[in-house]
Amino acid sequence: MSESSLSPVPAAAEPLLTILYQDQYLVAVDKPSGMLVHRSFIDKHETRFVLQSLRDQLGCHVYPVHRLDRPTSGVLVFALSPEIARLLSQQIEAGQWRKGYLAIVRGVVKTAGTLDYPLKEQLDAIADKKARSDKAAQSAVTRYLPLQQVELPFAVSRYPTSRYSLVALQPLTGRKHQLRRHLAHLRHPIVGDTSHGDGKHNAFFRQQFDSDRLLLCAVMLQLPHPVSGVTLQLQASLAELAALCRQFGWPDNIAYYQQVFQQFLE
């Protein structure tokens, strides 16, 4: 067979984003962990972004109205017009969105509570190099609810066993890295957090469970539809958290967590 008769091998298609909800006004997707929402000069080498991938997938422009950190998975909403983007942004400013997260954290979280702990604005050395660094700490409030615990027969630090908790979280404010910083303040850092977490436990999860992501997932979002006013309840998958839940003997059915958050977010 001659070289001229060989057909070129087609490039592998990018995996499609999972669409959780779509109508003529907005679309919600289940953002994978490790994927940037939009292009950023903080990571110039990244080539795949939720914003561009969704535009290509739908064949139309989409407009971001909020964001998730790169390592966080879960519900992410885009408007399909600038007008709807403005309405959704106004809802966020008015505190009309209710967000529910799941996180696996170090240690045993014994009781539910609300952490009201102001946070200094975190500035990026490149993106925020012209921003003021002397701003006062901003109000930051997070509700938390312990759901499950596990004790593993491994000495990760100075104790003969290691204990972890699955917690439900509701941020009542929207500060940068708020959940990660608040859990670290409570001495229960989120597993996989390379900025505010515990390196020994992060390494243990990589080696023992092949888990190298931040174990934080935005599983639930409630908001009024910007046109009809009907309450939308958007629900993401548990992603990689599901496999860990099974190994730890925790519920891995999203319906269980949907019921949890219906009560928790009221």
pLDDT, tens digit, for every residue of 79-98? Answer: 999 999 999 999 999 999 99
Task: Determine the Cα–Cα distance for residues 177 and 193; give it in Å rounded to an integer.
Answer: 10
Helix (H, G, I), strand (E, B) or coil at 143: strand
User: Of residues 69, 128, 134, 252, which has the active-site annotation?
Assistant: 69
Please report the pLDDT score of residue 128 as a whole number: 47
In the annotation, is 198 catalytic? no
pLDDT at 201 over 80: yes
Token digits of residue 38: 């939009």
Q: Which residue has the tokens 């001229």?
A: 4
* Selected residue with higher pLDDT from 148 and 40: 148
Average pLDDT, the chain: 90
Cα–Cα distance for residue pair 203/191, rounded to 1 Å: 9
Does the pLDDT of residue 210 top 50, yes or no? yes
Beta bridge partners of 167: 103, 146
Q: What is the pLDDT of residue 13?
A: 62
What are 222-266's pLDDT values in tens digits? 999 999 999 999 999 999 999 999 999 999 999 999 999 999 998
Cα 104–221–150 angle (5° rounding)?
15
Report how many helices (DSSP H) and strands (DSSP E) the chain contains, helices first.
6, 10
The answer on pLDDT for 138 being more than 70 is: yes
pLDDT over threshold 80, residue 122: no
Q: What mean pLDDT do residues 211-225 have? A: 97
* Partners of residue 98 on adjacent β-strands: 222
Query: In this structure, are residues 60 and 52 in contact, taking their beta carbons and an 8 Å threshold?
Result: no
The tokens 């009221």 sit on which residue? 266
Cα 127 to Cα 17: distance, rounded to the nearest angstrom: 28
Q: Which residue, among 151, 149, 173, has the nearest Cα to 162 in the 3D structure?
A: 151
